[in-house]
């Protein structure tokens, strides 16, 4: 599989800023956390249950010359936002960049087979948690800050039926993004969503990495002729976190490699 692995030079354009990346220990979240660290931010790496993966991410950030700390909170449960911010406050005195990345897809399930319990869990983790994490984080987020929500290309390209419930959770995130941008503009806080397509992560490993046919099909969907990798999404997030994006807010950024053309 052709991939993009080149690391950009460290510009330190986020020096002096503190970031929190939910779900920052693996996949897209880890790539974003590492990129923000290389750009100079002090990064809070949130994780749900895998402390080893979170520590590995923090160690990688520090090995590249950055600073990081870990934040544990199991999302989708009562008190998740409160627990997250309590853990964060013990290690930081404010926030400049919030990346709502943590999410689950629930697997590929036909609409007729989605259970109420599975539906509720998807919305609890993917929609309710970022809403209340953000709500409770606004008192910590400094003026001129950045909120970056990870959406999905499925909300614009039309979801496969077996990912309908998942796509609905991300559709809610799109509305959240556009509306919150209007609410926070007076504080010079921008709010944007980055929408990946299929990305080569553990979440997609069971069908993508195991099938040359699947890899070929996904690659063919992009004019760039390859499957996306986490660093592709991290680059977009780094732009949205930077001062360069100060005039961009309320936007849904297509990061599908052109697959929606």
Q: Of 141, 127, 259, 144, which Cα lies nearest the Cα of 193? A: 127
- Catalytic status, residue 127: no
Q: Across 65-140, where does the E strand assignment appear?
A: 67-72, 95-100
| pLDDT tens string 68-107 | 999 999 999 999 999 999 999 999 999 999 999 999 988 8
Q: List CB contacts of 17: < 8 A, sequence separation 6 or more.
A: 40, 41, 42, 96, 97, 241
* Residue 191, beta-bridge partner list: 147
Q: What is the DSSP secondary-structure string of 225-247? A: -S-B-HHHHHHHHHHHHSGGGTT
**Residue ranges in the chain whose pLDDT is less than 70:** 1-10, 158-159, 207, 261
Entry pTM: 0.93
DSSP 8-state secondary structure symbol assigned to residue 98: E
Cα–Cα distance between 31 and 24 in angstroms, integer?
8
Q: What percent of the chain shows pLDDT beyond 70?
A: 94
Q: What angle do CA 257, 178, 194 make, to 5 degrees?
A: 25
Cβ–Cβ under 8 Å, residues 20 and 88: yes
Considering the domain 18-255 in this protein, what is its CATH number?
3.40.50.720
Tokens of 25: 């220990």
pLDDT of residue 11: 78
Give the start-to-end residue ranges of the domains of the chain: 18-255
Cα–Cα distance between 142 and 18 in angstroms, integer?
10
pLDDT of residue 218: 82
Cβ–Cβ under 8 Å, residues 147 and 184: yes
| Catalytic-role residue among 88, 166, 176, 252 | 166
| pLDDT tens string 16-28 | 999 999 999 999 9
Handedness of CA 199, 204, 207, 210 (dihedral sign): positive
Q: How big, in percent rounded to 5, are the helix, strand and coil portions of the chain?
A: 50, 15, 35
């Amino acid at each position: 599989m052709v991939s993009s692995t080149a690391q950009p030079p460290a510009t330190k354009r986020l020096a002096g800023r503190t970031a929190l990346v939910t779900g920052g220990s693996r996949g897209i979240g880890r790539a974003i956390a590492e990129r923000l660290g290389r750009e100079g931010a002090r990064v809070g790496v949130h994780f749900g249950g895998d402390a080893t993966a979170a520590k590995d991410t923090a160690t990688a950030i520090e090995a590249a010359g950055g600073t990081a700390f870990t934040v544990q909170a199991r999302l989708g449960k009562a008190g998740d936002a409160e627990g997250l911010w309590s853990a964060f406050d013990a290690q930081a005195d404010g926030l400049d960049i919030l990346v709502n990345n943590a999410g689950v897809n629930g697997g590929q399930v036909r609409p007729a087979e989605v259970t109420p319990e599975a539906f509720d869990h998807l919305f609890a983790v993917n929609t309710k948690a970022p809403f209340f994490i953000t709500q409770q984080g606004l008192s910590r987020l400094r003026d001129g800050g950045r909120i970056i929500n990870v959406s999905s290309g499925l909300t614009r390209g039309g979801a496969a039926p077996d990912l309908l419930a998942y796509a609905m959770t991300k559709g809610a995130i799109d509305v959240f993004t556009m509306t919150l941008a209007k609410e926070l503009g007076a504080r010079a806080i921008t709010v944007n969503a980055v929408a990946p397509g299929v990305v080569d992560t553990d979440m997609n490993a069971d069908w993508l990495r195991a099938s040359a046919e699947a890899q070929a099909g996904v690659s063919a969907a992009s004019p760039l002729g390859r499957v996306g990798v986490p660093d592709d999404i991290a680059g977009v997030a780094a732009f949205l976190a930077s001062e360069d994006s100060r005039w961009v807010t309320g936007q849904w950024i297509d990061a599908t490699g052109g697959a929606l053309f």
